[in-house]
Amino acid sequence: MLAYLLRRLLLMVPTLLGVVTLTFIVTQFVPGGPVEQMVTQLRHGAHRGDGGGGGGYHGSQGVDAQQIEQIKKQFGFDKPPLTRYVLMLEHYATFDLGQSYFQHDSVWNVIRARLPVSVSLGFWTIVLTYLVAVPLGIAKAVRNGSRFDTATSVLVLVGYAIPGFVLGVLLLMLFGGGTFFELFPMRGLTSDDFDTLSATGKVLDYVWHMVLPVCASVVGNFAIVTILTKNTFLEEIGRQYVLTARAKGAPERDVLWKHVLRNAAIPLLTGLPAAFVGAFLNGNLLIETLFSLNGMGQLSYDAAIRRDYPVVLGSLFLFTLIALVTKLIADVCYVLVDPRIQFDSVDR
């Protein structure tokens, strides 16, 4: 196990390097970089007469070369691309993600300020998805072909077909004071008076704000986990060891929960990292925008639009690292669930 873990940790280095390098190269060819945006702002400010052009704007001559060089130096573009790339790798080696171009703060602080929203949304999405979908998938497998199986299949597939953003709009109209009932708040993670509330009041206020965005995020995930659980259980129920356990008189409950579940949990565990990364790290831009939640989805979008390259590259580096570690943990759990699997067989 130790050799396997060491090998996987070493393989993370070229993976991280490849992701960061490819993204850095792409940013060198994307038009409208931070220097161009700053120059455009100076020109527009001067045309509006609000003083935004500063002393470096000279009418039809535009921004003078000296001011442009100062802007390039401000953003670090006075150095060749290779030099900037090497400096970036040196900083990343010490987990220094740099400074945001436009938010006047370190990338670490910018990410930390947005993480609570995405953590909350992603955590409850994963928890509720597995708490509901796994038991439902087991019940469908046990009652395969029944009316219950058919009805629940229709429900989860309808939920899967409805985009989360559309469901969010519908929930706001019904329960957010949009058209019918005003039972839940329309925006934010907490109320304005959150700091003045008691401990119990803070918990209730937080849950009150999370109900609608979590419901909009979680419904579409039910179908995948439910159908996966059902199919896995059906496959395991038909195996010889299940027939043998039943022939020996083992209670059906023990057969399902002590024997079948242990083997059926393997594909669920292997799918957990992808679900974790998707819901926990990436954020949901549309849901965050709809419910006015400043999470990682909104941060990533704003950074890409504004060409805030340190935020783009830093968040990508951090989340790629977390995704790789999560995948490694899932592989370890994979082996712990089924001791028959050796680490060499799960090595990628």
**Is 0.85 surpassed by the pTM of this model?**
no
38 in any annotated domain: yes
Q: Is residue 17 part of a domain?
A: no
DSSP string, 124-171: HHHHHHHHHHHHHHHHHHHTTTSHHHHHHHHHHHHHHHS-HHHHHHHH
Please say if the pLDDT value at position 333 is more than 90. no
* 214 & 117 share domain: yes
Identify the residue with better confidence: 161 or 281: 161
**Residues of the domain holding 283:** 110-310+319-346
Give the residue from 31, 34, 32, 56 showing the smallest Cα distance to 43: 56
pLDDT of residue 337: 63
3-class SS of residue 99: strand
CATH code (residue 166): 1.10.3720.10
pLDDT tens for each residue of 77-126 = 778 888 888 888 888 888 888 888 888 889 999 988 888 888 888 888 88
Q: How confident is the model at residue 58 (pLDDT cuts 50, 70, 90)?
A: very low
Q: Is residue 127 domain-shared with residue 66, that is, in the same domain?
A: no
Within-domain flag for 237:
yes
Count of domains observed in the chain? 2
- Any domain includes 257: yes
- CA separation for the pair 114, 301 (Å, rounded): 13
pLDDT tens string 135-156? 898 889 888 888 999 999 999 8
Could you tell me if 67 and 156 lie in one domain?
Answer: no
